[in-house]
Structure 1
Amino acid sequence: MTESILKEYFENKISSEFLSADLNGSIKKLTYDTSQISVVKMESDSEFEIEKSHLMKILNDTLNGNLTFDNLKTIASGLMFSEYFTWDSDYEIGNRIATIIQELDNSEIFFPISTENLKLWKEYLESGIHKLKRK
């Protein structure tokens, strides 16, 4: 995963197909239950704040089949460990963004990535009502 490419995707400068191609091969399986993400860090003194629209974009592109569930998980993992991408969890919307990214990154622990759950994450992002349930 290349942070500059993800930024360009969020800024509508590149397509989801281009982003998906960059994401492929970014996660390497180490053991049956551990993996490692390869990220090309952004060379910048500034930060890029993740907004509701950015998260909605990746959720919609995944629902529309432009990004895979694996792509979405890779993006979430990259965001979780990035020093460039940030969100303000002190505000309600930032807290929703943080929750969704954490749940996507840890789908084995929280909720599986599925079409139904993507719709529920979108609803949570919009309304603040978290309806996802563990099976």
Structure 2
Amino acid sequence: MSRDEMRAGDTDRQAVADRLKTALDEGRLDLHEYDERLQQTYAARTFGDLDSLVTDLPGTVPVQQSRVEPYEPPAAPLAASGAGDMRRPGGPPFLASYGGVVLLCFLIWGASCLASGDFIYPWPFWMLIPLLLGVLGRWGKRDR
């Protein structure tokens, strides 16, 4: 009896499935072909059936030559900072973004006053309330 006629075991099928997964990751198989071959792998009875599924695939590519980037978990956050703390050098990030919005509102209000020739109700002052509350909130956190 030749090797091709011998019955394959579950570990042999798993080894072929792993090799097919590697070929998929390397871009040698598309997802549809991988799925078909995987189904045939688990239905295979002999080594000949298994060998026919991987004969057109080259050997495994070493990690150093692979185009697939190995997974690296993200760096752990600093233990000193809180979960929602967004401190950056140069001040709180909301100050620049929301402060720009408030400035733009004041410019629009000023242009409207100049264009109409009247003093219009100063509605941009309402935009200062969330900005001031944010600044005071950040200032209060620094004391702790």
TM-score by structure 1 length? 0.25
Higher relative strand content: 1
| Structure with the higher helix share, 1 or 2 | 2
Larger relative CO (CA 8 A, sep 6+): 1 or 2? 1
